[in-house]
Chain A
Amino acid sequence: MSQKINGVDLNGLNQILNEISKEKDKAKELSLWRVRLRWLGGFKTRAYMRRHSIDIDEPADLAGIDTAQNAVETLLASLGACIATTFILFATSKGIKIENLELAIEGQLDNVLVFLGLEKEGNPGFKSIEILAYIRTEAEQKVIEDLFIEAMKSSPVFNTLTRGAQINHKIKIF
């Protein structure tokens, strides 16, 4: 049995990283992500990806039936999870043991009234997002702070949100 840090098999991880860095096809495959969503009535949708599915709905005060978190909450959670994933990945690669990790994410929309069709000023997206990270470890404060910032800057979702992606859209009517 090889060495495990943070529940991750270090040899296995290095092998995966080695393969991805050598095989262009593998990196390309891991660069493309797909989901399909089906509307289930009201504001409820189900997203399907690979062998998983998740539900997204709206809370009752936004006319949903609150069977699941909504789209903007899903987005905040994905940002937190992405930074947490990158942090565990980098800590493990450096042999740093993490005992506990929790992130609280708070997002402020610029102007939700644009989404409701009541105003045209500003934008209905998130203007700013705050992340509070609670980390339990024996490692030094400075090491962990630097590692967290490095992880954040290498996180796919963080980069998507801070840079802006090009979104193309099409519609087919039946």
Chain B
Amino acid sequence: MGKVINGLDVESLKSLIEEAKKNQEFVQKINKWYARVRWAGSGFTFNSYVRNHSFTISEPSELGGPDKGPNAVEYVISALGACYSTGFILNATKRGISIKNLEVAIEGEIDNILVFLGLSNEGHPGYRKIIAKAYVEADCDEKLVKEIWEETVRTSPVGNTLARNVEIVPQISLIK
């Protein structure tokens, strides 16, 4: 085990990046991601299965759910915040910069929630605007931290997904 910064072994992080440079199969593998979602069979509760993990997605009582977990739009902004955090730590560690503390606060505003509820046709029910605030504690040049943050935002998979238009293709299989 080599030098550890931010809880990450710098040498193995570097060899991972080297691997991505030359191993096409590895790159293809990390370019594709899967999730499965199962309805719990009653009301607004769903379980998601991802590799060896599972988690619950529900709705708060204000939206008629039993509030057994965060809802889907909360998971989306959590994914964004986690993606920024991951990228920030990755980009800081690559430069050998130690981060003492990192916190990200995200707020998202839905364009028109009534479309989701089938109560309106105006606007759309997706997020119109998302504000992300990062709070960073580090013992290094402020300019450098800002540079790492800018790079992180620019290269974030979830950030880019949310800001661009993704093609989504459904296929329905009916079981009688």
How many angstroms between the C-alpha atoms of A63 and B11 in the bound complex?
11
Check B104–A37 contact: CB distance below 8 A.
yes
Q: Which residues of B have CB within 8 Å of A68? A: 53, 55
How many angstroms between the C-alpha atoms of A136 and B39 in the bound complex?
11
How many angstroms between the C-alpha atoms of A93 and B114 in the bound complex?
15
Residue of A nearest to B74 (CB): A49
Instruction: Judge whether B96 is part of the interface by a CB distance below 8 angstroms.
Output: no
B interface residue numbers (CB < 8 A to A): 6-9, 12-13, 16-17, 20-21, 26-27, 29-39, 41-44, 46, 48, 50-53, 55, 57, 59-60, 62-64, 67, 69-87, 89-91, 94, 99, 101-119, 124-138, 142, 145-146, 149, 151, 153, 155-176
Max chain B Cβ within 10 angstroms of own Cβ: one of A108, A149, A152: A108
Instruction: Judge whether A82 is part of the interface by a CB distance below 8 angstroms.
Output: yes
How many angstroms between the C-alpha atoms of A49 and B74 in the bound complex?
7
Residue of B nearest to A9 (CB): B64
Interface majority SS (helix, strand, loop, mixed), chain B: mixed
Given contacts A76-B35, A112-B31, A131-B171, contact A168 B57 (CB under 8 A): no
Max chain A Cβ within 10 angstroms of own Cβ: one of B33, B39, B50, B115: B33
Check B126–A163 contact: CB distance below 8 A.
yes
Given contacts A33-B108, A69-B53, A126-B161, contact A82 B170 (CB under 8 A): no
How many angstroms between the C-alpha atoms of A163 and B161 in the bound complex?
10
Q: Which residues of B have CB within 8 Å of A83? A: 170
How many angstroms between the C-alpha atoms of A163 and B129 in the bound complex?
11
Check A125–B158 contact: CB distance below 8 A.
yes
Given contacts A42-B6, A70-B86, contact A123 B126 (CB under 8 A): no
Q: How many residues of A contact B (CB 8 A)?
A: 126
Instruction: Judge whether A1 is part of the interface by a CB distance below 8 angstroms.
Output: no
Check A16–B62 contact: CB distance below 8 A.
yes
Given contacts A133-B173, A167-B162, A169-B131, contact A71 B157 (CB under 8 A): yes
A-B contact pairs, 8 of them (CB 8 A): A31-B110, A59-B51, A69-B50, A85-B57, A124-B155, A138-B176, A152-B170, A157-B126
How many angstroms between the C-alpha atoms of A54 and B6 in the bound complex?
21
Q: Which residues of A have CB within 8 Å of B73? A: 33, 78, 82, 156-157, 160
Q: Which residues of A have CB within 8 Å of B142? A: 173
Check A125–B159 contact: CB distance below 8 A.
yes
Check B136–A173 contact: CB distance below 8 A.
yes
Q: Which residues of A have CB within 8 Å of B107? A: 32-34
0/1 interface trace, chain A 119-160, chain B, CB 8 Å (1 if under): 000011111111111111110010011001100101111111
Check B114–A107 contact: CB distance below 8 A.
no
